[in-house]
Amino acid sequence: MKVSSLILTIPILLVLSITSTACAQTNPKLVNSGKGDVSWAKGWTNLSDLVTDSPLIVIGEIVKVKETIQQNERLYFTKFFFRVDTVLKGQAANQIVIYQTGTPDKPETGIMDDPLFKIGDKYLLFLESNEPDTYCYYGPECRYLIATDKVYSINHVLDNTQYIAPRTLDYNGFSLAMFNANVKEILNSVRFYSSTNVTRLLRGEAEKASFVLATNYSVEGKVLFNINRVDSKNGYLMPVTDGMTLNIVPNELYVHPNNDYHLILEIQTDEQNIVSGEYLINVNYNIGGTITGSHQIKVIIDTLKLSDIKMRP
Amino acid sequence: MNKQIRITFLSALLFTFILISILIAEPVFAWHFNGHFWIIAPVNLYFLVEPNVSTESWCGWYNAQLVWNDAPDSPTEFIYTEDDSIDVITCEYANNPLTWSGYSWFNPDSGYISKAGAWINEYFTDAYSYYKRVSTAAHEFGHVIGLAHNSGAYLMEHYDSIRYDDNGIYSPTPTDIDEVNALY
């Protein structure tokens, strides 16, 4: 065989072996007949924020349908029993109830990027309680299929392309043990998070931004908050601008280990005095004089006018 | 190594690189459609807002059609009606502690549609500003004419907070309009 033929053959074989290896890894599949298209009310861009913002994180199995509720001709909800095998954050009974939009009896009433649960499927879920002992979740970002101790974000198992996972929440056969270790590492740090990174107001409007201060296994003490504006040119902290009033509620609290504390930042603008533009606001916390940190949110005062909105006659 | 072998080696290397790139590359430019479409362009789409929606939701829906109809190069023509014998889109409200702020449905469930509907969940949207509510309703109108979600500074961005708060979008962007024009 000529040397040139060998040189050509080796890379082709290399490519073919890479291709066949890739094809051999087959993911579990979720068949979805749901035709509803929804906009989720919340989203996250990384695991730390998702962990901090989720009161309950569990791993377990879908056991059976509890009940289906028909709200109107087209809108159905189903409550599923979920057996809890592992609690990564929060507290849960051995069996909880989880809400989904749609009904298995009419699969088309489900949601395109959040297929209805199948009995026997295992999931890692980031949950929030919406009524006593019942939980819901904010779509596919909060739902990960577990198969053979591997974690799959929904985009890798769904039979359609309706969900695009953020790069940092994209898991394709990631080790469940590693995932759990990552969650534990996050829970072992003090975090200060707001689901509002940016808030956009018209002059004179008010808004509330929620914050979570999450403590780790050891931190305890009195917390003081300090709110400043960040100078966009040099990054220095300065007093909040005229025409904007900011209050964090509660503005003082005592924290204990392994707890989440929910706070509200109240933003009030004065139509006459506020100047349209972007304001970077720094909210600083100080626990017991030793542990400090901050979170920044951007407040945009828009040039839009409420008078351009057509009101109901 | 003689010249011919070097040329063959470099060609093989280049060939391998191109082949691997083709194999691992994901399509970057793709339209975002949800599989539903009207038989003709989305014109004369009479929409009815259920009378029991809140005043705030009504403003959301009404202004959402204006921003679609006014967008440059948009083929859409949503027409407000109070006559339930001619509406093809029904705008309703939900108020429950589930986790979506908007929801769209289609009839029939696939292919050409002749009737569609959309909800906004007042459980969340009642706390929104007027323009943010328009952003949510206009996003649902985008689904109703066949668009799927897109990520980033587009009207079809999944999340209200990213679409409106981060990017200030409450009307179709040129990309959203290009997608509609590609579909019809």
User: Per-residue pLDDT tens for B157-180?
Assistant: 988 888 998 899 999 999 999 999
Q: Is residue B15 part of a domain?
A: no
Q: How far apart are CA B95 and CA A250, in angstroms?
A: 29
Among A13, A38, A127, pick the best mutation site for testing chain B contact (most B Cβ within 10 A). A38
Nearest chain A CA: its distance from B175 CA (Å): 17
Nearest chain B CA: its distance from A46 CA (Å): 14
- A191-304, which class in CATH? mainly beta
CB spacing of A312 vs B59 below 8 angstroms: yes
Chain centroid to CA A37: 19
**Max Cα–Cα distance, chain A, nearest Å:** 86
> Which residues of chain A neighbour B94 with C-beta distances below 8 Å?
71, 75
Count of the separate structural domains present in chain B: 1
Which chain B residue has the Cα nearest residue A311? B59
B83 CB-near residues (< 8 Å, 6+ apart): B46, B48
* Tens of pLDDT, residue by residue, chain A (313 residues): 566 665 666 666 665 655 555 555 688 989 888 888 888 888 888 999 999 999 999 999 999 999 999 988 888 999 999 999 999 999 999 999 999 999 999 998 999 899 999 999 999 999 999 788 899 999 999 999 999 999 999 999 999 888 889 899 999 999 999 999 999 999 999 999 998 889 999 999 999 999 999 999 999 999 999 999 999 889 999 999 889 999 999 989 999 999 999 999 999 999 999 999 999 999 999 999 999 999 999 999 999 888 889 999 8
Q: Is residue B8 part of a domain?
A: no
Q: Is residue B75 part of a domain?
A: yes
Instruction: Decide if A201 touches B, using CB distance below 8 A.
Output: yes
Q: Is residue B25 part of a domain?
A: no
Q: How far apart are CA A201 and CA A271, in angstroms?
A: 11
Q: How much is the pLDDT for B3?
A: 74
In B25-88, which residue ranges form alpha helices assigned H by DSSP? 55-70
Q: How far apart are CA A42 and CA B167, in angstroms?
A: 15
Instruction: Decide if A53 touches B, using CB distance below 8 A.
Output: no
Hey, which CATH number is domain A47-187, 2.40.50.120, 3.40.50.2000, 3.90.1010.10, 1.10.150.120?
2.40.50.120
Which CA distances in Å does B43 have to A46, B68, B118?
Answer: 41, 11, 18
Its domain, for residue B148, covers: 36-183
Angle, in degrees to the nearest 10, between helices B130-144 and B55-70: 60
A-B CB pairs within 8 A amount to 158
B105 CB-near residues (< 8 Å, 6+ apart): A35, A36, A37, A74, A109, B116, B117, B118
Q: For the domain that residue B116 is a member of, what is the CATH number? A: 3.40.390.10
Residue that has been written with the tokens 């929801």 in this structure: B103
Cα angle, residue A17 at apex, residues A11 and A21 outer, rounded to 5° = 150
Q: How far apart are CA B170 and CA A202, in angstroms?
A: 14
ipTM metric: 0.78
